[in-house]
Amino acid sequence: MAFIQSLSHFISSGISYRRDSSPSPYVLSTSPPDSTMELYLLEHRLQVCAIAKSDIQYFCYAIIKIALLPEARPNFFSITESNGLYTVILTDEDYKEFPSHRSLKNSNHRWRVLTVSVGAMGVSNELVGISKISKSVIGPLSDHKISVLCVSTYQSDFILVQENQLNVALRVLGNYFKIFNEDHKRVTDNQIACSSPKTPDISAVLPICHPFRSPKSVFCVTGLDASKLSGVVQLLLELIFFSGNQKENNEDSFFHFSVVCGDISLIINKETLEKFPNNVLYTRKNEETWRMVIIGDDLGFDECGIVAQVVDPLASALLSTYYVSTYNMEYCMVLESDIDRVLELFAQRTLDKLKIEENSTIKSMSQVESSELRPGEVQSFKSQEVMKTIASRGCINSPDLFCYVCGYLTDKGHRKTFTPFLRKAYELYFDSKVDSGKSWAPQFICLTCACNLRGWIRNAKNNNHLAFGVPMIWRESSNHITDCYFCLTNVTGFSYKTRSSVKYPDISSVSKPIPHDPVSCPIPTSLTEYRVDDATQEESSSSSNMADSDYNPDDDEIHLINNDDLCDLVRDLALTKGQAELLGSRLKEFNLL
């Protein structure tokens, strides 16, 4: 901390942060006077690189020199910390300041920057962020197979195009915009070919092809008054270089800082916003908050259409969004009030992808020579091949995200192995065999059902039965579109505590649990004669399995015990109050609680 304070004092002691005396000509808060949208090609040539979080110390000096020193005046600088990785976007000149290091990764492309005249701040009754240019910029580039990266700031939205694709991009967008350079001079016709590329055949639907999820964290998109940068340098240093000290889920951590021609933009969580003094940020602390949707994993730079897949349904639904592309993932910010609707739209677009694939499979089957097969045999052959293709493709959600007994969502931290002891308890409780070893059924049991079954067979006082007398019945689904429990259940944004709020489908491939009824479905009586001998034998057998070379633990991550887990342990072990307090004390002593 002393080092940070000393460094911030050194930075703040210089001259004030320099920025343009007048706003940049290509960042306007309203449309041009003639209501025509204008596209600007910026002169910057950018590099996109990544740095492992564990090696950021080797680049601290260069980053501070480029973006935070009083004399610094970067034309385009963006740094995003997410998922244990820093993504840095900067000009060719600034990139030369970086030292050569094994952890520095480069996209191996030079990028050019495009921006539309209407800024991301927008005006009344106008879409905010990149949604407003979805149809006119993002869509056409995607249709012509042009790969793009997007960086939304508080002031504007920037589209990054690979330099070797720039000419094609300008020809495509020339149909929609007047195109200017930074000096507001019209790009001449010989710079843009006389005719745009041939418009390809475009599908009516842009399905989402990559997995997505939404952490619970709440974020704010804001601007920073550049004249007051020196007063918050220490805080920015902590956020950029020392965010790992925060007690948060690193997998979902996110921080974005950008400087474009003197305009400073931040994307920070709600807790970080409270650390900034008043009158420094352009955003008031009671303004709208945003939720994040994370798309894909290790996406690369050559695939085109990812941004369009995400932004198109949001723009069609008139939903605002900010968008930040990183080295290996995409981040979409939507209003917190819109998150449920957004996740439903994305889930529907994912199903659209499955429908397109199934229709493609059916179409390919129609090419079977009917002369070789009788009509009935052709139809049978098509159905069999379609089902083989669908089955081999897999489900949107893994079956093991759900409990075999109750069918509810079950995350890693609350997922338990369906041991022989629990299987025996299941069979005694429901008077039914476990249909195990099926790829189309879950192989795990949730913590709640496991504790209830153990409590029942051990005749525990406070936790001695399940809420239902007939368990979830699993059958092999006929297709992924209308009869797949794992494809039709949208679990994005839900946790173990909120899993009861998930909308679980009523389909023919499953039969949901039936609650206990005193007459038709009474609570079974615990078998105390089995409890003593067999339970002890099972505990011994379960312990021996831990030494088996083929044994795979449920989770390779350390799971810290919370209060709910402690209560389950106390009930499971039938501890007295004194024993429970001792257990809690010992767990706290070893930092496990």
- Tell me whether residue 252 is in a domain: yes
In 3D space, the residue among 43, 22, 159 whose CA is nearest the CA of residue 91 turns out to be: 43
- 354/464 same-domain check: no
3-state SS assignment for residue 366: coil
Count of domains observed in the chain: 3
Let me know whether 340 and 464 are in one domain. Answer: no
Q: Looking at residue 89, what is its pLDDT?
A: 96
Strands, DSSP E only, in 53-132? 76-82, 85-91, 104-106, 111-116
Helix (H), strand (E) counts: the chain: 16, 21
User: In this predicted structure, what is the pLDDT of residue 302?
Assistant: 67
Asked whether residue 378 is domain-assigned, the answer is: no
What is the residue range of 187's domain? 35-192+200-360
CATH code of the domain covering residue 129: 3.30.2130.10
3-state secondary structure string, 484-539?
CHHHHCCCCCCCCCCHHHCCCCCCCCEECCEECECCCECCCCCCHHHHHHHHHHHH
13 found inside a domain: no
State whether 494 and 438 are in the same domain.
yes
* Token pair belonging to 327: 């080295």
Q: Which two tokens stand for residue 429?
A: 């409780």
Report d(CA 438, CA 216) in Å as an integer: 33
CA neighbor of 354 nearest in space, from 400, 302, 403, 393 = 393
C-alpha pair distances (Å), 238 with each of 53, 74, 250: 14, 21, 16
Residue 86: per-residue pLDDT? 94
Q: Could you tell me if residue 570 is inside a domain?
A: yes
Tell me what pLDDT residue 166 has.
92
Identify whether 236 is part of a domain.
yes
Residue 489 sits in the same domain as residue 564? no
Residues 169, 279 contacting (CB under 8 angstroms) = no
Neighbours of 469 (CB within 10 A): 19
Q: Residue 567: name the closest of 550, 548, 584, 553 by CA.
A: 584
Digits of tens for pLDDT over the chain (593 positions)? 555 555 555 555 554 454 444 443 333 323 333 345 688 999 999 999 999 988 999 999 999 999 988 888 899 999 999 888 999 999 999 999 999 998 899 988 999 999 986 543 344 446 677 777 877 888 899 888 899 999 999 888 999 999 999 999 998 888 778 888 887 788 755 555 445 555 554 445 677 777 888 888 899 999 998 888 888 998 999 999 886 544 444 556 899 999 998 899 999 998 899 899 988 898 765 678 999 999 877 776 766 778 888 888 888 888 989 999 999 889 999 999 999 899 888 888 776 665 555 555 545 545 544 444 455 444 444 445 444 444 444 677 888 899 999 999 998 889 999 999 999 999 999 988 888 778 889 999 999 999 999 888 887 666 578 999 999 999 988 887 788 899 889 887 788 888 998 999 999 899 999 998 887 888 888 765 554 444 444 444 444 443 333 344 444 455 667 776 777 777 667 677 777 777 877 777 777 77
Q: 195-200 — which CB contacts under 8 Å span 24+ positions?
A: 195/171, 196/171, 196/172, 197/144, 197/168, 197/171, 197/172, 199/143, 200/143, 200/144, 200/145
Half-sphere exposure of 140 (CA within 13 A, CB side): 19
212 and 332, same domain (yes or no)? yes
Type of residue numbered 6: S
Q: What is the pTM of this model?
A: 0.60
489 and 578 share one domain: no
